[in-house]
Copies of this chain bind each other. A is one copy, B any other.
Amino acid sequence: MPEAAPAPAVPATIGDSEFDRDTHVTRRAPGVYDIDLSAGWTIINAVNGGYLLAVLGRALGDALPHPDPFTLSAHYLTASRPGPAVVRTETVRAGRGLSTGQASLFQYDDEGDEVERIRVLASYGDLDTLPDDVRTSAKPPAMPPAEHCFGPEDGPAAVEGSSAITDRLKLKLDPATLGWALGQPSGRGEMRAWFGLADGRDADPLSLLLAVDALPPTAFELGLKGWVPTVELTAHVRCRPAPGPLRVSVTTRNLAGGFLEEDAEVWDSADRLVAQSRQLARVRLG
């Protein structure tokens, strides 16, 4: 494994960071955006699903009258590859407090035909207009401080293939959910980590879409080794995250019939539950 990049002397800022550059979409026509999918967010042989979600979320944030994703549902159709892609958006409804849009990401096959990779339905609003009321019963995940957690740079390579994304994340896994890396999966469908961007950029609603799908699959702790492709992922962004590291907790309750769900919660440094997500993924049962 490569050494972890040293922490930058000056942290990158929101709007001027690797993540911002790699999710940058260029408007070609009203509602149509060009993007060059970066190879920097790949793992094994796949482009990370959360990175793709952030790309689609960014295009919709430009196309719709409201800036922030409140709820975004993505169905993953075919495997994306690094390189050029087109995002086509549609404004479904523009309301006063919320607007709803649709977006699809397309790439080209070897014959030059467009192939749809992902389709998304989303409702957008403005997080800064929400009232301050918080009556949550949820508690932040119990996990050790980051300095007692472990990243890919602390151990042997756990996966074969690309690990590009690990260089761009500051991911520190709770040792209680790291049994799989030592050949001793806990049998519990849990994965927890401290999450940040390696260049020090703070979190915003778009990077929360990355955070909900950035941890190793809970299936690893359930003793499964294969890849776990996402069929559908829905994320709710509930609050603009405070500066500082995030905590991400992912749980699986129901592994059955060759599918499992992964529920993610993202907590910010102010102990606010800033995002929730659930995905349905396929597993290959041995």
Interface residues of A (CB under 8 A from B): 70-71, 73, 75, 77-78, 92-93, 98, 100, 102, 116, 119-123, 127, 130-138, 188-189, 222, 231-232, 234, 236, 238-239, 252-259, 261, 272-273, 276, 278, 280, 285
Contact = CB atoms under 8 A, between A and B. Distances in A.
A257 B135 contact: no
A251 to B, nearest CB: 9
Contacts of A254: 136-138, 238, 273, 276
Contacts of A253: 136-138, 273
Contacts of A77: 92-93, 100
B134 A236 contact: no
Contact of A280 (B70, B75, B132, B231): B70
Contacts of A98: 231
B131 A258 contact: yes
B232 A257 contact: no
A201 to B, nearest CB: 24
Given A98-B231, A116-B93, A222 B135 contact: yes
